[in-house]
Amino acid sequence: MIENVDLSKKLDKEEYEKAMPELQLRMGELQRQARDLNIPVIIVFEGWDASGKGELINRLIHSLDPRGFKVYPVTAPNEEEKMRPFLWRFWIKTPAKGRISIFEKSWYRRMLSENMNIDLKKEDPMELLGDIKQFEKLNYFERDLYNNGNIIIKFFLHISKEEQKKRFDDLEKTPLTSWIISKVDWKVHRHYDKYLGLIDDFLELTDTDHAPWTIVEANNKKYATVKIYRTIISMMEKRIKEFNAEDIKALKANKQNVNISEYDPGKDPILNSIDLNKRLAENDYKQKLKLCQGIIKELQYKTYRKKLPIIVVFEGWDAAGKGGNIKRFTEEMDPRAYEVIPVSAPDGIEKNHHYLWRFWKEFPKKGYTTIFDRSWYGRVLVERVEGLTPPEEWKRAYSEINEMEETITDDGIILIKYWLQIDRDVQLQRFKERETDPAKQWKITEEDWRNRSKWDDYNAAIEEMLYRTDTKYAPWHIIESNDKYYSRIRTMETFIKTVEKAL
Amino acid sequence: MIENVDLSKKLDKEEYEKAMPELQLRMGELQRQARDLNIPVIIVFEGWDASGKGELINRLIHSLDPRGFKVYPVTAPNEEEKMRPFLWRFWIKTPAKGRISIFEKSWYRRMLSENMNIDLKKEDPMELLGDIKQFEKLNYFERDLYNNGNIIIKFFLHISKEEQKKRFDDLEKTPLTSWIISKVDWKVHRHYDKYLGLIDDFLELTDTDHAPWTIVEANNKKYATVKIYRTIISMMEKRIKEFNAEDIKALKANKQNVNISEYDPGKDPILNSIDLNKRLAENDYKQKLKLCQGIIKELQYKTYRKKLPIIVVFEGWDAAGKGGNIKRFTEEMDPRAYEVIPVSAPDGIEKNHHYLWRFWKEFPKKGYTTIFDRSWYGRVLVERVEGLTPPEEWKRAYSEINEMEETITDDGIILIKYWLQIDRDVQLQRFKERETDPAKQWKITEEDWRNRSKWDDYNAAIEEMLYRTDTKYAPWHIIESNDKYYSRIRTMETFIKTVEKAL
């Protein structure tokens, strides 16, 4: 896409000054419209060294209301960022509804800078771009954001070899700026032509309908500025038009064509085969509890030293014993290296982001353990059953969740998912206990009773969830929980087995 | 305070198991009450190495609802934290209303760990504790939070030399934990007695009514657990009682005794002596603008390399030209190293924190520039005039703001504060222009007209602000802004002069 671009394009001062005022005004208007329509916008600037990213971003933001955007320069990951899954630092910077995130370099940094700069001798260009699986994951990332309403606008600033040399020379001329250009920069410059081919491959691989690239001829900054403005304006106008379209229903209907495999709810229900009569005597329990807690404490030392990050997900019926399980589970752990994240309905800020955003934020650093008391599976459980999320969206969530889990487990996270299963009678009995025990009354609400009345709907949602999201990299562990003792020990033993295997 | 503590105190298993259930229940209740009353709670755990901080924190949090607290282990500052003012990483972790922040080590880390571990040979113990000015600032920090409604509970876990040796030996016995104990730890252990004296001094210096220390005899963990529970419970009960007290009015009246120096509003009004007729011709302006923008661009390179952090505050009347000033100011700057923070009314999360919290969050990294379009001075301007904040609180804010500015400038931040001054006629004229210009209509609201009608009240607030917060370390620059050209150049020239002096 880039090799035949005409880099001689330019604008003179007069043309530029004629075009800009209108574009600047329009940009401001569109920002306010997107804000009012709650549309989040992501703008990515990639490009050759010295292609003018900083300057062009500055020219763009001067038409924007600073209350509505933020510029994120992407450099090498810092200590904290290196400790998290690769996409963590980008996920947490995705814009809230109505806001604009501008990335100077981006999640493609690894491919465009890190990998390429290391070794040009490799014959296979794809090797230079890095693991092909990474491309897929970045594509999921962009597609998820797009599906959630984000406009994604990606610019590649293209300059010629001669122009780059000129700019490098200019920067090197004065001590004020000479430190900016490094030996590596010059090395890349010398191999400009080889890189050009690589970048071409790269752009084609990452150019999608939902997040297309715009190549900006940036030898001439005036031309580049106008092209950037026009591109953003036209993409925002298009999306705003969609939002305002009279046939918005048709659009929505269109969206319902979620690509989802067939599933027969009646066939082989998973939970039916679970033997809920499993029990553990109190004496056995007490012994095993001490033993397991001791081992978990030791494992925590080991995973901390080995820098293994762990996520434990507790899902289960109301009153299935999640809280009690977590309490015993963490009783001997060191609070400096584990954290419990209780998940309830999203708050204001969380609602203004992609539904996975609030979980990405909490994903653990290397060596740390994060325990989720409920999780992202709310999307296909409570949100589905209570009608909080339209069917096309929760149906899409199965693959989004699977892809996310694959992404983070590939990044080295150990992910352990529990479903705590109880039957209706046990739930009723526990609800009643809670109502009469003054120490537990606050734990039971109207909502619990309401949820209970929808047992069958929840059961169907759980079955489909277990069927669709039980994967090689993140299998479900169904824990028989009618007996609390049995449940707790089973959870711990499963954890111990999984972590020991990973060590 | 610590030298005569009786470390032989202990509880046996029976006593412990008898005491705990009730304490645990009560702790849960109080957490829910504090949540409902919007009371933020800060709990600090300091203590000897191996005094059991982790374990005791874990025993505490198992009685708390995880939705309401967070544990913050404090280690050596990471790259990002080193780039910010010292207190930044603590300010951003202060709890929202109704929540609990638990610090494992704290802002005292520097004194208790870093300074002490370096060099025991110094004869003057105070030198080991570090700069006495730091004590003052940490005291401001705690007092500000207390005044804003926080309960601050500080524990020092005390163990004997023998007990520490025993615990170190136990940890070293197995490879699983032997890495925890370092040479430095043993060195500190050998000089236990000398440290004991130092810690005693330290505790006395940092023990205040608003944030008292509780020394916990921690040789026996059961005793320590119960003491920690009882202390927290009694401090929370006390504060909750205050909130519920019938004579709450009396309490409030009491609070009004803000220690504030006398001020005669009529005497020597500062703004009267400003010559608003200063003007700059268009040609002059254009020339100087280019020149100044060029110098500012160069200065940005220099301050980036020298790692100087800069804060620029723009305050001024509505339509005084803050936005236009900032636009020209930043026109040639690199957006990767500066940021404009527009300040309007605090949102939900911001309102749930100390009023300075949202500004602390934004304080720049070394080498970066943060420009505030309005600032923390809203506390003594709009919040005062519109009655959004009671008098005792905005009156207290003058010294809180001065102290904060002293704290961050001492940490190396260059702070430049502008007041853009215009007269009433010019404001009226600009409001009218905005109303008729389609590109600017969105900038003028009902509120602007309302504010204008209170010109005299605002004027009084501004005068007092300029009088009370014009300090050596953070002086006000009053910018004559009836003429926009003059104002913009004056702002830039002031910036250039100040930064060049600091370089």
pLDDT digits (tens, 9 = 90+) for B184-206: 899 889 999 988 988 998 999 99
Tell me what pLDDT residue A127 has.
66
Tell me what pLDDT residue A123 has.
58
Contact A442 B32 (CB under 8 A): yes
Taking the C-alpha atoms of residue A51 and residue A54, their distance in angstroms, rounded to an integer, is 9
Of A60, A62, A24, A55, give the one whose Cα is nearest residue A43: A60
- Own/partner pairs for B4-9, CB < 8 Å, 24+ apart? B5/B158, B5/B215, B5/B217, B6/B217, B7/B158, B7/B159, B7/B160, B7/B163, B7/B217, B7/B219, B8/B219, B9/B217, B9/B219, B9/B220, B9/B223
Per-residue pLDDT at A251 exceeds 60: no
Greater model confidence, B358 or A438: B358
Give the minimum alpha-carbon distance from B373 to chain A in angstroms, rounded to a whole number. 9
Q: Output helix, strand, coil percentages for chain B, rounded to the nearest 5.
A: 55, 10, 35
Q: Please enumerate in sequence order all residues whose Cβ is within 8 A of that of B447, keeping only pairs 6 or more positions apart, or say none.
A: none
| Minimum Cα–Cα distance from A80: chain B residue | B78
pLDDT tens per residue across span B451-469: 999 999 999 999 999 999 9
Interface of B with A in 91-110 (CB under 8 A): 104
Residue with tokens 């699977």: A402
Tell me what pLDDT residue B167 has.
97
Chain B hits for A306, CB-CB cut-off 8 Å, are none
Question: Chain A within 8 Å of B442 (Cβ-Cβ)?
Answer: yes
Q: Kindly indicate the confidence band of residue B248, based on its pLDDT and cuts at 50, 70 and 90.
A: low
Characterize the bridge pairing of strands B41-47 and B100-104.
parallel
Question: Chain B within 8 Å of A331 (Cβ-Cβ)?
Answer: yes
Q: Kindly indicate the confidence band of residue B124, based on its pLDDT and cuts at 50, 70 and 90.
A: low
Q: Kindly indicate the confidence band of residue B115, based on its pLDDT and cuts at 50, 70 and 90.
A: low
Q: Please enumerate in sequence order all residues whose Cβ is within 8 A of that of B182, keeping only pairs 6 or more positions apart, or say none.
A: none
Q: What are the backbone angles phi and psi of residue A70, rounded to the nearest 5°?
A: -145, 140
Tell me what pLDDT residue B158 has.
97
Are A61 and A102 in contact, with CB atoms under 8 Å apart? yes
Taking the C-alpha atoms of residue B360 and residue B367, their distance in angstroms, rounded to an integer, is 17
Chain B hits for A341, CB-CB cut-off 8 Å, are 66
Contact A335 B176 (CB under 8 A): no
Per-residue pLDDT at A407 exceeds 70: yes
Residue by residue, DSSP assigns A472-495 as SSS-EEEEE-SSHHHHHHHHHHHH
Per-residue pLDDT at A3 exceeds 70: yes
Chain A hits for B179, CB-CB cut-off 8 Å, are 305
Per-residue pLDDT at A257 exceeds 60: no
Per-residue pLDDT at A4 exceeds 60: yes
Q: What are the backbone angles phi and psi of residue A370, rounded to the nearest 5°?
A: -115, 125
Q: Given the cut 0.85, state whether the ipTM is greater than it.
A: yes
Chain A hits for B348, CB-CB cut-off 8 Å, are 348
Radius of gyration from C-alpha coordinates of chain A: 27
Per-residue pLDDT at B486 exceeds 80: yes
Per-residue pLDDT at A386 exceeds 80: yes
Eight-state DSSP code of residue B6: -
pLDDT tens per residue across span A357-379: 999 999 999 999 999 999 999 99
Per-residue pLDDT at A9 exceeds 60: yes
Taking the C-alpha atoms of residue B473 and residue B416, their distance in angstroms, rounded to an integer, is 10
Q: Kindly indicate the confidence band of residue B56, based on its pLDDT and cuts at 50, 70 and 90.
A: very high
Q: Kindly indicate the confidence band of residue B503, based on its pLDDT and cuts at 50, 70 and 90.
A: very high
For testing the chain B interface, which of A67, A307, A336, A340 should be mutated: the one with the most B CBs within 10 Å?
A336
Per-residue pLDDT at B374 exceeds 60: yes
| Mean pLDDT, chain B, whole residue set | 92
Contact A67 B25 (CB under 8 A): no
Give the minimum alpha-carbon distance from B61 to chain A in angstroms, rounded to a whole number. 9
Exposed / middle / buried, residue A248 (Cβ in 10 Å: 0-12, 13-18, 19+)? exposed
Tell me what pLDDT residue A118 has.
55
Q: Kindly indicate the confidence band of residue A244, based on its pLDDT and cuts at 50, 70 and 90.
A: confident
Q: Kindly indicate the confidence band of residue B116, based on its pLDDT and cuts at 50, 70 and 90.
A: low
Interface of B with A in 20-39 (CB under 8 A): 25, 28, 32
For testing the chain A interface, which of B336, B350, B366 should be mutated: the one with the most A CBs within 10 Å?
B336
Per-residue pLDDT at A122 exceeds 80: no
Q: What is the mean pLDDT of residues A454-474?
A: 96
| Minimum Cα–Cα distance from A78: chain B residue | B79
| Run of H or E residues at A90 | helix A88-91
Tell me what pLDDT residue A125 has.
59
pLDDT tens per residue across span A174-204: 999 999 999 989 988 999 998 898 899 899 9
Q: Kindly indicate the confidence band of residue A139, based on its pLDDT and cuts at 50, 70 and 90.
A: very high
Taking the C-alpha atoms of residue B368 and residue A219, their distance in angstroms, rounded to an integer, is 28
Per-residue pLDDT at A209 exceeds 90: yes
Per-residue pLDDT at A165 exceeds 80: yes
Nearest residue, CB atoms, A179 vs list B32, B66, B305:
B305
Tell me what pLDDT residue A190 has.
93
Are B343 and B322 in contact, with CB atoms under 8 Å apart? no
Contact A62 B442 (CB under 8 A): no
Strand, coil or helix: B200 = helix
Nearest residue, CB atoms, B80 vs list A78, A331, A344:
A78
Q: What is the mean pLDDT of residues A312-320?
A: 97
Chain B hits for A78, CB-CB cut-off 8 Å, are 78-80
Characterize the bridge pairing of strands A100-104 and A213-217.
unpaired
- Strands (E) in B289-403, as ranges, are 310-316, 338-342, 369-373
pLDDT tens per residue across span B380-390: 999 999 999 99
